Amino acid sequence: MINGTRRMKFYISATGIKRVITISSGGGGAGKGSAKDITAASATSAAGRRISARAFLPAFLVLCIVLPFLFVRIAFLVLESARVCSSSDCVRWRFFSEGDTSLKLRDELTRVLLEAAKNSNVNEEEGAESFNEFVTEITTASRPQDLEAFAFKTKAMLSRMEHKVQSAKHLESAYWHLASHGVPKSLHCLSLKLAEEYSVNSMARSPLPPPEYVSRLSDPTFHHLLLLTDNILAASVVVNSTVENSANPENLVFHIVTDKKTFTSMHAWFATNLIKSAVVEVKGLHQYDWSKEVNVGVQDILEINDLIWKHHLNDIEEKEYRYMEGFRPSSLSLMNHLCIYIPELLHHLSVFVSFGGSPYEQLFPDLNKIVYLEDDVVVQHDISSLWELDLNGKVCGSVFKSSEEDSTGFPGSKYINYLNFSHPLISSKFDPDQNVWLYGLNIFDLEAWRRSNITQTFLEWLKLNFKCGLTLWKPGVFPPCLIAFEGKVHPIDSSWLVSDLGYHHTSLEEEISLERLESAAVIHFSGPAKPWLEIGFPEVRSLWNRYVNFSDKFIRRCGFTQ
């Protein structure tokens, strides 16, 4: 075409048809510049469109992936909040809070637990039987369980389990109580065999002590010991262990007092197992000619003990273990209560001796000092220095219980553990934090006792306790003895006695060190688990068994084993 005319050109590209209009001019630089600018602008616009198109596709793909994930996550949070939270506030802070949600969840859980604790209308019968049942109940419920429901169900389950544990403890206490009441077949057999021996064997009926030793029964230069028991085997262990570990056994004089039904068996045992190095006297309660006053006091003790037994027998399963001690035979038997009549038991001590073929009764003056041993003790070392102790005018010398023993599971060491200080009669007269002294090994100044009113005080408080509905102290003979001997007990060194070997403990080493046990002069199996019972603890039974004469024919026949 001719120069100066306008020309129109079309360009076709692979990406599509684009029409580019170029205005050409035959002259003039200005015209050429304008055309170039238009062409550059069009190129820039096309490049921008190409970049936007390339960026849109990846962004679109990312959104397609992220949006479903966000939707699922939000839905999960909504469902979780509905299940866990019990209020709209809880749901709100789970979505909009800026802090740690676990801490706030803890606060919410604490709140509902405290609310459940204050609510007393929880039915423990609705609680789950086990943790697995509880989990199943929570996770498979037909409707969502919120925190409040979780807290109340947890409380119901724990309450039910706690009730079962308490019932099991009460049953255990009752079974232990019944076991401590029982007389083993072997002990019953021994008593019967010895009673038969007494009737057919003249040696079993020989006088105790032999006539040539009768004068020692009232001689204050000898060391006198008193034992009140109806347990033949236990009495033999006390005598054997004391004699075997004594530096001068020929100075020992044992006064064994028993009841009428056991007298012949006890006499037969010590008559046929005569201890040549010491003197042993066996006497039955039926042989005492007590005054009317003493007889009345003993009768009162028997009647009150019978009423105590009837009062507590019906609800024995509901009593805690520490109360069970008061219902054991040793706590309610006459033999155990006769310790309060020790001066009367040794007053004008009498024995029957033979002179010219005719028996006659010989009377002796009162003794001054005597060591009292219970029948569940073992003497491990020489105790002769006990008679030399200065009691500083006190009636009794005894080991006082240490406060450290409170944490071992054994009976407490304070008055408050035995007496009821919520009663004004007790709180007005005694100190709850005062340490108690121990029975089992005691040295008594009989002259000081006779000048005191201990026995009368014991009987008066026994009657007062009955009038107050048995509420002044926990059952047993020890609490009224604490009252009767108040201010009249002199402390002796703790190495003389280790007690509580008959109480339940998990491990001997944890409760009483072996060194302390072996160094003690006397060990006391106080508590229901006596070493001659099946419930006795193997850890300490060997300390008692070593003094049982297992070679004796009656021991073998009655099935005693080490």
Are 370 and 344 in a shared domain? yes
CA gap 338, 388 in Å, rounded: 25
Residue 258 — very low, low, confident or very high, per pLDDT cuts 50/70/90? Answer: very high
Distance CA 271, CA 261 (A): 17
User: Does residue 63 lie within any of the structural domains?
Assistant: no
pLDDT, residue 100, reads 58
Please check whether residues 420 and 378 belong to one and the same domain: yes
The predicted model gives 88-109 an average pLDDT of: 58
Q: Which residues contact 243 (CB under 8 A, 6 or more apart)?
A: 249, 252, 275, 277, 278
pLDDT (0 to 100) of residue 236: 97
Confidence of residue 272 (pLDDT cuts 50, 70, 90): very high
Average pLDDT, the chain: 77
Question: Which pLDDT tens digit goes with each residue over 481-527?
Answer: 999 999 999 999 999 999 989 876 544 445 577 788 889 999 999 88
Both 254 and 310 in one domain: the answer is yes
Within-domain flag for 134 = yes
Angle between helices 147-181 and 101-118 (to 10 degrees): 50
Other Cβ atoms less than 10 A from the Cβ of 386: the count is 19
Of 159, 180, 201, the last residue of a domain is: 180
Same domain, 135 and 243: no
Q: What are the tens digits of pLDDT across the range 409-455? A: 456 789 999 999 999 999 999 999 999 999 899 999 999 999 999 99
In a shared domain, residues 449 and 546: yes
- Residues 6 or more apart from 66 whose CB is under 8 A from it? none
Give the least confident one: 140-144, 192-196, 516-520.
Answer: 140-144
Q: What is the pLDDT of residue 346?
A: 83
Q: pLDDT band for position 153 (50/70/90)? A: confident
Q: Which CATH number characterizes residue 383's domain?
A: 3.90.550.10
- Pick the residue with more confidence: 70 or 18? 70
Choosing from 162, 180, 198, the residue where a domain stops is 180
For residues 174 and 192, membership in a common domain is answered with no
Q: What is the pTM of this model?
A: 0.69
The answer as to whether 381 is a domain residue is yes
Cβ atoms of residues 444 and 497 within 8 Å: no
Helical H segments across 21-146, by residue range? 29-84, 88-96, 101-118, 131-139
133 or 559: which carries more pLDDT confidence? 559
Per-residue pLDDT tens digits for 45-65? 555 555 565 666 677 676 777
Distance CA 345, CA 314 (A): 35
180 vs 204: CA distance, rounded Å: 30
State percent of the chain over pLDDT 70: 61
Same domain, 157 and 244: no
- Residue that is last in its domain, among 180, 195, 219: 180
Q: How far apart are CA 536 and CA 561, in angstroms?
A: 14
- pLDDT score recorded for residue 529: 85
CA atoms of 13 and 16, how far apart (whole Å) = 6
Residue 330, in any domain of the structure: no
418 domain residue, yes or no: yes
* 301 and 421 inside one domain: yes
Q: How many domains does the chain have?
A: 2
Of residues 252 and 368, more confidence is placed in 252
Question: By residue range, what is the domain housing residue 296?
Answer: 185-319+338-351+362-558
Q: Is the pLDDT of residue 408 over 90?
A: no
Task: Tell me: pLDDT of 330 over 60.
Answer: no
